[in-house]
Amino acid sequence: MMTEAQKLDAGLPYNFWDPEVDARKLHAVRLCRELNATPMEDGEKRTALIGRLFGAVGAHPTVLPTFSCDNGRNIRAGDNFLANYNVTILDIARVDIGDNVMIGPGVLIATVNHPLSPKGRRAHLGIASPVRIGSDVWIGGNAVILPGVTIGSNVVVAAGAVVTKDVPDNTLVGGVPARPLKTLVNDLGD
């Protein structure tokens, strides 16, 4: 029989109040609290804390307060990663982030969902689906990225958008739910 953490890792419904699952959250809460309390002027310590919190991180990460996550170790970010103020990443499942990604203030990236039925919610069930974000992506303030979404490279997610479906490369998306608004080119004209 599988433990709840094994179910979670396998992408199966799991009990989110299980002590082993909860221990992952508590680890993240402790490191987030330490990171958020460290002065921005102490870049070396902040970078070291980001390295301890995330599963992997490239060169030059910037994570502004107040940052929150569910695990931390499931976040893998490339070079020049920026998480602006009040970003939350519910990384029960993997969140893979490419190079040169800017996440605006108040953004929520969620990998966890719950049953629609009250019976399933009363059973404290969660189901996790990974999120993937390509390189050269800008996610505008207060946007929401839902579980299982893949965002391509050279994408802009407009402020306040709710991304419920995959976004192809070179696309500006916006709205609730987010939809393609424009094809983007990689030049200095925009």
Q: Catalytic residue numbers?
A: 114
Contact present, 166 and 145 (Cβ < 8 Å): no
Percent helix, strand and coil across the chain, each rounded to 5? 20, 30, 50
Contacts of 6 (CB under 8 A, 6+ apart): none
**Residue 7, Cα to own-chain centre: how many angstroms?**
21
3-state class of 144 per DSSP?
strand
DSSP assignments along 94-112, one per residue: -EEE-SS-EE-TT-EEE-E
To 5 degrees, how large is the angle CA 64–CA 68–CA 70? 145
